Amino acid sequence: MKDKVVLYKKIPEQQKLLLSQMFNLICFDKIDESNLKQFIHEIKDAIGLIGSGVKLHQEILQHALNLKVISTISVGYDHFDLEYLKSRKIALMNTPDVLTDTTADTIFTLIMCSARRTTELNNFVTSGKWSNNLKDDYFGVDIHGKKLGILGMGRIGYAVAKRAHLGFDMQINYYNRSVNSKAEEKLDAQKMELDELLADSDFVCSILPANQQTDRLIGQRELELMKNSAIFINGGRGNVVDQDALAIALKNQTIRAAGLDVYEVEPLPHSSPLMELKNVTLFPHIGSATSETRLAMITCAIENLKAAYIGDLTKNCVVS
């Protein structure tokens, strides 16, 4: 008899078939209040879970008495209680490599859209306001040759830096716990303390993970350290930034503009003051949202689950 695995995300039928060949697969397209009790019932005897988009805290997982592995279809894992998983010896697997370039593309798109005001100008055209030569009130700023400060020089940070330096001749500053020798050797990147980077950079791009050290790392004080011509980009995690402070800084033109793909609360509430501002570009958390990358993430997560099931935790294991 096959061991039971519960899928808690809608995936293509072909990928479901791959899982069904090895496991007794129980499928949920998503988890919400309407089916949470049924989900908890199904995980009681499950050996594995695979999916994303749900905070699987102790209150839920304590019911999964046979659970051995969770394979998240994401690179981030801040929606899990890692200490609890360790105490239960439940392996947690993620998909870090397959979305690096796609996410870097998204972040650089935010940089370009924010600098050249593309969303605002698209609305200018579609609303019928374009009737003559564009006035300088609508001018953007150049990207090439500017200084890009990157908060978090990991895989995605390096991929963004590569696009910026090699494609747009940008000088790279970075803030990171450790030296990234590859970035310094290949891209002439310069490691800086946070305050120095904020004051020196024309664009500041956060790709930091969510943890106690990064929670609201960027607030009023940090925004005031930035140039009033600077543009702030967040493509990492929403809680790295104090969004209320950011909205005030944008409204008061403490900084020029911002571009965001992640938020403290998602979806972004309609009541957010960011909704009222013209100098912010808002994406609906699309970092890895391409057909090719999402399929690659699902495939990777399935392979991770299968590997962990047979005891192979050598790749993509966050907790073992």
- Please give the positions annotated as active site: 237, 266, 285
Strands (E) across 21-133 are located at 24-27, 48-51, 69-72, 91-93
State residue 279 phi and psi, 5-degree precision.
-95, 30
Cα 107 from Cα 207, distance rounded (Å): 9
Q: What is the four-CA torsion angle of 118, 229, 216, 103, rounded to 10 degrees?
A: 40
Cα 141 from Cα 116, distance rounded (Å): 6
Nearest to 52 by CA among 100, 14, 10: 10
Cα 5 from Cα 50, distance rounded (Å): 8
The DSSP letter of residue 166 is I
Q: What token pair was written down for 125?
A: 């055209």
Nearest to 51 by CA among 81, 22, 31, 78: 31
Cα 222 from Cα 27, distance rounded (Å): 45
How many of the other CB atoms lie within 10 Å of CB of 38?
12
**b/e map 246-271, b = 16+ CB within 10 Å:** bbebbeeebbbbbbbbbbbeeebeee
Pairing of strands 91-93, 317-319: antiparallel
